[in-house]
Amino acid sequence: MFTIEDIEKLSELVKLPVSEAEKESLSGMLSQTTLYMDMLNELDTSSVDATYQVTGLQNVYQDETLNKTLTQEEVLENAKIKKDGMIGTTAVLERE
Amino acid sequence: MKDLYLLNLKEALNGLKNKEFTSVELTASCIERIKKVDSEIKAYLTLNFENALIEAKKADEIIASRGEEAFEEFPLLGVPYALKDNFSTKGIRTTASSKMLENYIPPFESTVSERLKNAGAIVLGKTNMDAFAHGSSTETSDFLKTANPWDLSRVPGGSSGGAAAAVAANMCIFSIGSETAGSIRGPASWCGVTGFKPSYGRVSRYGVLAMASSTDQPGPIGKTMWDCSYILSIIAGKDLNDATSVTNVVPDYTQTNYSELTIGIPKSYFDLEMDEEVKKLTYEFIEKLKELGFKTKEIDLISPKYSIGVYTIIQRSEVSSNLARLDGIRYGLTRDNFGFEAKKRMFLGAHVLSSGYHDKYYTKAQKVRTLIINDFEKAFGEVDLIVSPTMPITALKFGEGEKNPLFGEMMDVLHEGSAVSGLSAISLPIGFAGNLPVGGQLIAPKLGEEKLAYVGIKFQENTDFHKQFPEIKKND
């Protein structure tokens, strides 16, 4: 079950602000979802390994050659704040 | 001759090769059709008409100078198509139907659209979808509500709803969708068209806005199985930009032949709660396959009800991780612009990955995934393909799915097992329940696309369900 406190904690983890109404609705909906997730306990998995990818490919390497890449202008095209060929972000450190 | 927008891919290619019409005429015919009916359907989010006509003119010049031989180098020369809006297109707005990306213009091209461009195909526009592909009705789009061309009060299915509706309403010659679990098969079924979901890794994911990276897979939606098979031969194959793309040689999927194939009927799939008419039509589909010389055999598979939990946990985890990159700094808007569906998925994803729950949910799901994979492998030791309905019901009315937090996952219950196992599958039109189309699903082992193409093409040579198209009735 998800309490309002659980939702607030998750909100910080995923950096997503939620309204009071959304908190209510999320706690109800996520609690309902876990019913299907808990159903997996009906199956015995003690003798199998987990599968994280299904291609069977391992250690995919390629030659270290110069490939086509984006120009600096292209990389900056969609950035909201840019200055001197760099992308601007909001400050994370405060000035003394 | 019939209106050009009505042509399927094979007919369009023949007409262009034989100079019965030009690419400009074909493209203009699709554009006229879009202008006439898309105000009702709302399949397209972004239109590319001006560029499309320029490209068509170029294609005509190549055909005029080189004739039929040009199609050897450009196997889709001059053919207009619709592209789902989660494929990055250089210079064309790409939003994945989310407000987060409403102004995003990619500086690069996805491998799939690049390969289609190199084959001579022309993008008519980008199609509507569930935002970030989160859903099975296309209703979670932040911009438009796409209607099902067969009944405008109903949804087209999703998440590739715009792509499927564009084909069903003859607003393109074919379209490209993508699937994480059911997003090609589902809307193809509800819109009465053919959908081909390739094996994981068969087609490059480069430049596709990621949903769940371990199952995402692009694929064609078309008017026939031949068309989808032809397109798959062009878009499939190893791509250096996607380390998970597989190296296996890509055959011509339209030229396959098998002397004997056995199709498995999984009891557990038919035991699920489903519409009686859908079940009946699926049994008729099986009868037709028998008439065509295919053998059938009852098989056991783990109940698909478990795949709902497995898929939900894996997908939510990967969604929360993939969408973490959207911080509004390099591109896109800030995180408060995410829709509720995306929030819901990221919250659960973060929860199942967090310390204390990781083993209980995430690792458990990946272990059950192994059980499902092993189960399919055992079944494919006895049979070549597996048959079931594509969707448990026919297209729903708008708003019907919103109340259930697992609506998408419940609708995709017949796709999730094969999706998390990386298998290939198709949905074929197999009849109508009232005026609504019903799809039949065939599932093949990993890289078993040739068998699917063979059976699908043979089925459509002997039936005409795929030749039915809706009359678009305008709402007053």
| B280 catalytic residue (yes or no) | no
Indicate the burial class of B32 (C-beta count within 10 angstroms; 0-12, 13-18, 19 or more). Answer: middle
B98 in a domain, yes or no?
yes
pLDDT at residue number B475: 57
Q: CA distances (Å), B304 to each of A39, B355, B362, B371, B416, in order? A: 12, 28, 18, 12, 8
- The CA distance from B384 to B293, in Å, is 14
Phi–psi pair at B365, nearest 5 degrees: -65, -40
Query: Nearest residue on chain B to A43, judged by CA atoms?
Result: B368
A61 in a domain, yes or no?
no
User: Which amino acid, A88?
Assistant: G
How many domains does chain A fold into?
1
Residue reference for tokens 């500086």: B107
The answer to whether the beta carbons of residues B379 and B299 sit under 8 Å apart is yes
| A17/B366 CB distance under 8 A | no
Q: Where are the strands (E) in B318-412, listed by range? A: 385-389
pTM, two decimals, is 0.97
Instruction: Compare CB distances from A10 to B302, B340, B350 and report the shortest one's residue.
Output: B350
B288 in a domain, yes or no?
yes
B200 three-class SS: coil
The answer to whether the beta carbons of residues A16 and B350 sit under 8 Å apart is no
Range of B281's domain?
A: 4-467
Structure tokens at A7: 């939702």
Q: What is the pLDDT of residues B86-125, one digit of tens each?
A: 999 999 999 999 999 999 999 999 999 999 999 999 999 9
Range of A18's domain?
A: 4-41
| B421/A41 CB distance under 8 A | no
- The CA distance from B207 to B182, in Å, is 20
Phi–psi pair at B126, nearest 5 degrees: -105, 135
User: Could you give the ipTM of this predicted complex?
Assistant: 0.94
Q: Give the HSE-up count for residue B116: Cα atoms under 13 Å, Cβ half-sphere.
A: 28
Res A64 pLDDT > 90: no
Strand B122-127 with B80-84, pairing: parallel
B476 in a domain, yes or no?
no
pLDDT at residue number A68: 81
Inter-axis angle of helices B340-353 and A20-38, to 10 degrees? 50
Q: Which of B468, B398, B386 is nearest to B194 (CA)?
A: B468
Q: Please, where are the H alpha helices in B7-110?
A: 9-17, 23-41, 49-66, 70-73
How many domains does chain B fold into?
1
Structure tokens at B135: 């859903």
Q: What is the pLDDT of residues B302-331, one digit of tens each?
A: 999 999 999 999 999 999 999 999 999 999
Residues in chain B predicted with pLDDT less than 70, given as ranges, are 1, 474-476
CATH number at residue B114: 3.90.1300.10
Chain Cα centroid distance, residue B246: 20
pLDDT at residue number B476: 45
B80 three-class SS: strand
- The CA distance from B269 to B413, in Å, is 9
- The CA distance from B390 to B285, in Å, is 12
C-alpha gyration radius of chain A: 23
Report CA torsion sign: B264, B265, B267, B270: positive
- The CA distance from B105 to B331, in Å, is 9
What are the chain B neighbours of A32 within 8 Å (beta carbons)?
A: 405-406
| A30/B344 CB distance under 8 A | yes
| B366/A57 CB distance under 8 A | no
A21 in a domain, yes or no?
yes
Q: Give the HSE-up count for residue B30: Cα atoms under 13 Å, Cβ half-sphere.
A: 35
Residue reference for tokens 């494929």: B87
pLDDT at residue number A1: 85
What are the chain A neighbours of B374 within 8 Å (beta carbons)?
A: 48
